[in-house]
Each structure stands twice: as structure tokens, then as C-alpha cells.
Structure 1
Amino acid sequence: MPRTARPPLRVPSWPWWAALAACVAGVVLLYAALVWSSAGQVLEYQVFRAVEERYADTVPDLASRVVRLLPLTLAAGVALASLGALAVPRWRRRGMLALAALIGANLTTQLLKAVLPRPEHAAGVPFSGGNSLPSGHMTLAAGAAVAALLLVPARWRPVTAVLGTAVSALTGAVAYTEAWHRPSDMAAAALVAAGWGLLAVPLALHEDGPRPAPRGARAAEIGMWTVGAVGMAAGLVLLWLTLEAPAAAGASPHPAAEPAGILLSAAPVVLCWGALATAFRRSRTA
């Protein structure tokens, strides 16, 4: 039988370019506003001081044990599945793109952590010994979720996006509550992973051509956009409430500080995944 000609590679539309630029700009703004800036460090310390003492805990609880292993396990599993896909001609493109997104996101995070300094300002914020933006834990989880989204057939993408969002959000929340990372670290990692996913979208859909959106795609997107937006709004309101009691080393944190930190550590990844799911659907049906 003659081989079916592949559809021509479509040039992405301006919303795709805007989303990709937003990922890059978001990482830059997070670093400039909350890491480089003295005022930003003080603002983020409003929520981080609620959990900072847990960093010294020598006996991890169940949640921290799970999140220590879950991102790495998922990343290894997706990497093996991607390598397996390389052996099947019709799945080879998926495997290559999934590996590229997974490896690219984690290399980007490690490079940024290594080259971006965290200045020590005379603002009363304890110095942690260096930059922790973006979060490596979140990048492992989010990068694995993006790679899985690229690897699975289109009909499984809505449920894969929801599961990947849940795992990534859980990783971000626990990484904050265990004082491994600040909320900005998780948000930056989500943007890095989403950016690599967006880079792969046009190539992932090239061989499929335009097709109807998978069942449940719009519902999954609406859910992620809604949960992410509500979570971000609630987190910012709680952060504003903490400003009633300015942060100071040794002082008791505001009761709203930890809930604000959890929401601001988890909600950004939900928004990123809503945008990524929308990018897949719009590109597939264009």
C-alpha cells in the first residue's frame, strides 16, 4: 500500500507564540521580582517563615517520603516508555519529543539554579545559601507530566493532563510545606516544563493533521483553568492578609501564611497545564 503523505507542518498561530513568550517572561519576572529584589524576598518570606523550621526535621512524614520518590519514579517511568516508543516506527516521533521535553526541562532547571545567584540583602530574610529557583522536584514531576502528554494517544490526553496536574500540584504543595522550596521556585519550574511542552506541540501534531478534539478535552481545560485561577486568587488574598503582621525572623507566622504558600505553590502549575491542554486542542483542530 502506498504511504500516506504527511500534512505540511503548520506555522503556529500567535496565541501559541504568546504562550511560549509568557513562559519565558514568567521565569524572568519571578526571578527578578522575588529572588533578586530585596522587597520580593521579604514578600515571599511572609509565607515561607510558616514552614522554614521543618527543613531541619530528621524524620520525614509520609507525604514527604512519597514526594521524594514520586517525581523521580514518574520521570524514570516516562523516560523508559519513551525509549520503548523509539522502537516502534509510528510512535517514534512521540518518543523523541517526550524525551526531548523531559530532558530539556530538567537540564534547563539545573542550569538556571546553577547560574542565577540569590543575593543576600540586609532585609532580615534568612539567607538559604544560594538560589533554589526553579524547583528540581517540581520540574521532575511536571516534566514527566508533559512528556506523558506528548507520548500518549490524543484520546488519552485529557485524563493524562488532569493526572499530571494533580501529581505536579501535590509535589509543589509538599515541597513548600517541607520547606524544600519557596512558592516562586515551583511556579518557575512549572513554566519551564510548560515551555518545553509548548515547543513540542507543533511537531507532536504534525503527523496527525487536523482532527476533532478528544472527548472531555474542553471539560478538562475548563476545570484546570478554573481551579488554577481560583487557587491563585485565594493564595494572593491570603498573602495580602499576612501583610498585617510583617515577617521577622523568630516571630510567629500569620495564620494565613501556610495556606497561602500551599495555594501559591500548587495553583500556578494548574494554570500552566490548562494552557498546555488548550494549546494541544487548538493546534489539533486548526
Structure 2
Amino acid sequence: MHSLSKLFLTFVGFVGLSLASPGGGEDLPAVCDFAALRARWPKESCEALTSIQAGLPDLLRRVRPYTQTYVLVLLDRPDGVPRAWDDPVLSRLRVGLLADTPAETIAARYKFAQVVPYPLSPAGACALFADLHRGKIDAGLVWAPLAGYFVAVTDVENRLQALPVPQPLPPLEWPKSAWEGASASDSDLFRCADRIQGVLESYGVAPAELLTANVEESSVIPDQPPPEDLAAARVGEALYYRYCDRCHGTQAVLGRRGLELRQRFLQLSYPEFIRAIWEGRPGRGMPAYRGLLDKTQIEALYQYLRALTLGKIAPRQSTD
């Protein structure tokens, strides 16, 4: 517990308990308490945060597929969240970002209602996500590895959604004075980095390099589903638990968002299923997985859900 307390004190010690940001002058909320956040991470997935101290940038640099990716992290809105960068909803957003980072370049391209800068510091990043959860801003425009970390440890109610920026940009560089302290072992860091990468994937965030590449056209989708293949279904099972169970639950019946996936699955044609995965379902909270899942992987997901619905594969038991 001592190391966790030291981590928290190190994190906030640069500015004390009063932040030079929107919401400044208030005590740091629970979203900034690294000791509490650490307790939410599965121990088998990531032991490192007990020993990382203030070396979080060392961890984030290891989320390598996303080093050139930025993402707009949004709080659910009554009028819906934008699912594309030409969505008129963007013009109504109050968007927070870290000052003096490539996020400013992105913000200059779009006519947000308001751009709110936060200090380029650990406390500034913390304040940004605290204000997002409080509803003081509508979105945060953030480097993807940093966004993945804060989403992983704060979005316990699945209130956040993500829209990746479709062009590569330079990674975030912290001031050398911002972080101090020892780091963890490479093996621990890579386990934690894999956890962050998995969170980004489950929220439908594709690496920017993939979003700019040519993708397969929907015109090549076959009309009929593939023959049953239990081996492919097992591949699909692993994909389901990496990308889908966050919302749909371990049994694809009722997840955190109360979505009945098996019943809905039976109502979709095979082309509709593939398009739903690739394009998402705007207005229903489902992200688009184009750039993350190819046709072969989506076919495997279909095989798994079909086998699960027909009772040929037993669902995993929830560990909650």
C-alpha cells in the first residue's frame, strides 16, 4: 500500500491539489487517485502499476500499434455521439486537449464549439478526464495510449465512446520534468501495454495507419453465411472475448448495456452482420471495427455466435 500512496503523491505533487485548468481549485476527484485506479485492473493482466511509480510514459510508449494514433473520447449525449469526422454533432462539442501537443493540429481542422486546453502534465491529463466524467467537457482529444489507460481504469459504467482520428500524427512527448521515478520490468510493462491495447480495440479504435489504408469493399461480401466450422468458431470465441463481451456480456445475452445479442443475431442477414461489425451501429453505442477486424475474423465471429445460439458451444461463465 505504501508504494501506491507514493505513486499517488508523486502524480499530484507537481501542482498540489489545485489545478490550473477548468475545474481548478477543486480537490482532485477519485479519477485521479492512482491507488484506487490500480485496484480496478485485473492482477493477472497487469501487475506493473504497483511498481511503475511515475513511469507511466514508459508504459504508454509500449502500446506500439497506437503510437501515431489520436482519439476523440466522448461522453454519451442525449443527441448522440458523432460516428464520423464529418458529423455535424462535432460543431456542438466542448473538446478538451493537452496544450502543445499534436491534438491542437487536429482541433484546428474542425469547428468545435469550444476547445479547452489543459496543461501538458500528469495533473492536466487527469483533470481532462475528470472534467469529461463530470460533464464539464463533452469530449477529450487525446493520444490513444493515454486515452486507453484512462478509459480502462475509469469507464466502469461504459459511458464513454471513442472516435479515432483517421490520419497518423506524432506521438505525445511529455516534458522531461513531468515524470520522475522508477519503472517496472519489461515483461510487466508489456502485459500492461497489452491490456491498454485490448481496451482500445474493444472501443473500436483502429490504429491510424490502418484507417488510412485501402479496405475491402462491401460489394465482395457473400450473400450466404459460410458452412458451420467448429474450429473457426473457436477462433471467433477468442475474438468475441477481446472485442465484444464488454458490452454484450460473457454469454452474449445481457451485458452492461443490456444488449440481447443472440436474439439480434438471428434477425440479421450475413451481409448485414458484416456491415454492422465494419460500420458499427450509430445511435446504439456500437463502435465500428473497420481496420481492426478483417472479413476472415468477422466470419469467425459469426461462426462463434451461430454455434453459441444453436447450443453447440457453451458460453463462458462470468467472473464478475
TM-score (norm 2): 0.25
Which of 1 and 2 has higher RCO (CA within 8 Å, sep 6+)? 1
Structure 1 length normalisation: TM-score? 0.27
Higher-helix-fraction structure: 1
The structure in which a higher percent of residues are strand is 2
